Structure 1
Amino acid sequence: MTREARMNEAFAGLTGTLVATGYDTVEFLHRLTEVCTVLSGTAGAGLVVADRRGELRDVAYSSDRVRRLEALQIDVGEGPCLDCHRTGEPVVERDLDRAGARWPRFAPQALALGFRSVRAVPLRLDGRVVGALNVFDVRTGTEPGHDGPDVIQPLADLAVIALLQHRYGRDRTAAEEIGAALADRTAVERAKGVLAESGGLDMDTAFEVLRSHARRSGTGVAAAARALVDGRIDPAVLLAG
């Protein structure tokens, strides 16, 4: 299959999910970061969005090491996603080894996790920037995701649609819809922690266990997470598969 065919297939799958009834926002956004990583030929991707106070929070990522970098940027107040959200413009760093002056705390940690370059593009809504999509790569000297047709900005636009689509037909603002997505992500993180501790798993594996259970049971990932955290389901049930 050619790259163009893979892109068309991936976008068709994502947009098909968006027009389906009752899709799972957590699952969709996680899948979007996975698709972004594959189609852009990069090593990882993450999404951050602004909450009601305008503060950035991580909402989806392709791996736990990307999550750690997204959380670090927010904690230390520097990095590509913050710059992108502030300026509304794409941010590119082709060699993080030379970015110490630009991001003195973020760059060393990104390098320690094996990433060598990064790119961030804005999530836009009604002329406002509401977040950013970041891609990380292990190579230097190139702009991550620009080896062929650009897929990163279109995927960022799909992320905005996914975050807001559920509000149509409801009396919910964009801020409320984003807040609901962030609350779902918080529940998922807590559930991952429960599974990691109960099963001796790393966080990526814990998420896959939760995700698999949600698919088998026909519930959303966030709903399965809340049932686990609230004690309505035993972790052993999920760990048994």
Structure 2
Amino acid sequence: MVVFDRAMRCIQSAMFQMHNARSNGNTVAGYFRKRKDSRCSTMSSSTGSSSSTIYRIGSHFSSRVLQLDEEQIDVIVDAFAKITDKYGAFERVFVQLFVYEDKEIAEQFGLANVPEDVIKRNQVFRTHVGKFQRFMTTIVELLPKVGREDELIEILRIVGRQHCNVKQMSFTAAKWLSFKNVLLSVLCKNDHHDKVYMCWNQLVSFLIYEIKDAYLDQVRRLRSNSCPHILEAGSFDIRKYSLANIKSHPEIP
């Protein structure tokens, strides 16, 4: 809850500043660009040819690129709109994570080994679900909007950096993957050949990659500011390592 609480405040501030910059005629310092390229797809003579708009969203930070066409974006937007109970959907995501998939995360909320029905009534849990719902709603709303790309990337970077505030736990690749799988299982059918699944998979993979990249970048910055050595992100544990530890253990890479 702390992560998304702080992140949403930062997001609101960033979006307000970006809108002010636009209203003043200034160019927002976008770290990624979104291009609309009209491409012709070759089709059978009976149907002729059609033009497809390709959206390319590239992150200056991670060099990651999300490429979706208009139809794929429409699939995502429509699928999200059809989720009538969005709170209930994301509640299922975090119940699955807290109770069944990754109980270490539940410990950070003081909800370790708490039954599912009790967790659902917990106010801290409910607040976290609500904030994640607003996060995903904002992402889906920004996705098709030209000129709002810098906000989308900035939101992801803010959320990634804020995960460093949870110092008692390392967000490993396994945790990100577990979260991705649970989220996809709720957003769409768990059918890798299903069109809706493939579209959501592309988007969620990009979101998590960018959030993870921002998280690891912030971890490196924090370590470099406090430690003369750079440790592997996967093995770094802020509880175990300090400047004194490193000085007394020069063999640590």
Q: TM-score range by the shorter chain?
A: under 0.3
Give the structure with the higher percent strand: 1
Task: Say which structure, 1 or 2, has more relative contact order (CA 8 Å, 6+ apart).
Answer: 2
- Bigger-Rg structure (1/2): 2
Structure 2-normalised TM-score?
Answer: 0.26
Structure 1-normalised TM-score?
Answer: 0.27
Give the structure with the higher percent helix: 2
